[in-house]
Structure 1
């Protein structure tokens, strides 16, 4: 098959490839703990192989329960000489038998076979991973997306791939609402892409996901940071009455204050500050507008009271609701300090 033919031409060093760009090769290594990205990478390879060879024979093995000789059996040419795709998961718990067989195979892979290896992380099998990397086979590193900038870039890329536009504020609203889980964030992108007929704006995201815990938390935080105490407390009490835990509410307050403090102490244009801090330029511009309402003393006091509330909602207080209300009140009052 075409994919296997080009796969023999190996680069001289490890070829790290994005999960969005990975193509079939004689050997492909997918590493890292982010399960969703690993699934997307494997799905992409499988889809491309099937496009080139619709009758491809697909075999699935688990390295954690592997028995000697299984790989050799899987790659043995079939009666009709069909292309083969071998997917092996669980390399992080591989057996010694698998390590021995895989080391031998990757040194001289078969024609018309695409071997995809999934390693979830850890040191088990490092010898095999190093051999694959040093041989120059493509490697996809699936690390968790922890920063907001990484999640917003993911959303923008999903919409670009889906042929839909999404406004910057809608991107952030979507990350706030469902960004805790990458698989949920991707599912939300897919739903909005499928349903939208025009550019997706923040109001659309609000209609779909405004009731999520994360979205509710940021509504409270946004109102408090804007100095609107009555609205912040009203949103907070509604959230608590509907069963929202105080912990994510305090986390949203802390996140907003951290961004404000970082931007307040940064120098340069919004684009330079955004690059330096790893956040979106429009968020920097918003924080720059917001910080004008604050005194340094008010910002410090708000950070302190939020840290106290964080400890109290995590077990140091018998009345966590009061702790959150007090933090919201202090922040809203401080935001009107100028």
Structure 2
């Protein structure tokens, strides 16, 4: 009877499950690092599901002339044809000595029998869930700083997301840069120094000023953003997002920021920000503002002749709709 491979801390089978690419890459890198620590000369064999030819797994799993440990990395099982799934099931039914199997699977039902067999065979499952909501992104960045043994304020996390955008890979790179280039607590001022131009050139500052009823400041920031190459479309998208947050938080009732954030799929700092911004707004005013942004959205996406003017008009409508200015 052939015994499946074992290494300190790494079982014979590892399943990396979930759609978040950054997390999946890190899980794979960590697994390979552990295997190399136990077997410095281990051979890494990568198999892409899209280009797989029947029988390759068996060939790679068979003992080589010179022996030695191997790890077969099968990427994107969720895109695998029947041939790859069959070959993996055959390998799982008859484990090869000194051969590890690492499988990545983003989502979906394809490859389910292989997944079930891996789990029943004692595979280590490393979850890589999608990082979608603003709360997810805030938690991700906060964890990045914590893992690097650095403290970052909630305002710094917010500013970084607004400055860099919501691409997880870019957020991770920006956090790593701040950790490497700075010392002490990372606050909003630190983020501003590194990404100040980006922050001012995004729709977030425009939206903050508009929602606060500051027409002149909102228009100034808008013109600065346009002058630095920002497209009107994402600016309108941020305006719409900010107004939706006001509606969600305003209608959510009482509760702690953390409780509301969890139920609304937001970050706690977003709840706090919306609560501060909701003063001066009522349901009628929010309705008018949302309609103005919807009209601007139509115009900047091709329905109007002058996208910039459409955004300016929306800003003036938003600031006029706010009461108690």
TM-score by length of 1: 0.86
Q: Deviations over 1:61-80 (max 9, x none)?
A: 22332233322232334566
Q: Residues 66 and 267 of structure 1: is their aligned pair in 2 closer, same or farther, counting only changes over 3 Å?
A: same
**Aligned counterpart in structure 1 of residue 85 of structure 2, from 78, 99, 102:** 99
Q: Distance in 2 between matches of 1:321 and 1:68?
A: 56
**Aligned counterpart in structure 2 of residue 170 of structure 1, from 125, 140, 156:** 156
Say whether residues 1:314 and 2:301 are aligned partners. yes
**Aligned counterpart in structure 2 of residue 44 of structure 1, from 30, 33, 58:** 30
Q: Deviations over 1:176-232 (max 9, x none)?
A: 222331111111111111112011111221222233389621111111122221111
Contact 2:162 2:199 in 1 (8 A): no
Matched residue SS, 2:197: coil
Matched residue SS, 2:6: helix
Contact 1:210 1:216 in 2 (8 A): no
User: How far is 1:260 from its partner?
Assistant: 0.9
User: How far is 1:134 from its partner?
Assistant: 4.5
Matched residue SS, 1:5: coil
Contact 1:298 1:337 in 2 (8 A): no
Aligned length: 321
**Aligned counterpart in structure 2 of residue 332 of structure 1, from 298, 319, 322:** 319
Q: Residues 336 and 111 of structure 1: is their aligned pair in 2 closer, same or farther, counting only changes over 3 Å?
A: farther
Structure 2: where are the runs of 5+ without partners? none
Q: Distance in 2 between matches of 1:57 and 1:149?
A: 40
**Aligned counterpart in structure 1 of residue 146 of structure 2, from 160, 169, 175:** 160
**Aligned counterpart in structure 1 of residue 284 of structure 2, from 272, 297, 301:** 297
User: How far is 1:123 from its partner?
Assistant: 4.2
Aligned to 2:48: 62
User: How far is 1:282 from its partner?
Assistant: 2.9
User: How far is 1:241 from its partner?
Assistant: 2.1
Q: Distance in 1 between matches of 2:184 and 2:165?
A: 23
Q: Distance in 2 between matches of 1:82 and 1:214?
A: 56
Q: Residues 215 and 36 of structure 1: is their aligned pair in 2 closer, same or farther, counting only changes over 3 Å?
A: farther
Aligned to 1:204: 190
Q: Deviations over 1:225-258 (max 9, x none)?
A: 2222111100101111222111100111111111
Map 1:25-174; keep pairs closer than 5 Å: 25-78=11-64, 81-174=67-160
Q: Distance in 1 between matches of 2:271 and 2:36?
A: 45
Matched residue SS, 1:322: helix
TM-score by length of 2: 0.89
C-alpha RMSD over aligned residues = 2.4
Matched residue SS, 2:299: helix
Matched residue SS, 1:212: helix
Q: Distance in 1 between matches of 2:304 and 2:155?
A: 36
Aligned to 1:5: 6
Q: Distance in 2 between matches of 1:332 and 1:206?
A: 26
With 102-111 and 253-262 compared, the bigger mean Cα shift is at 102-111
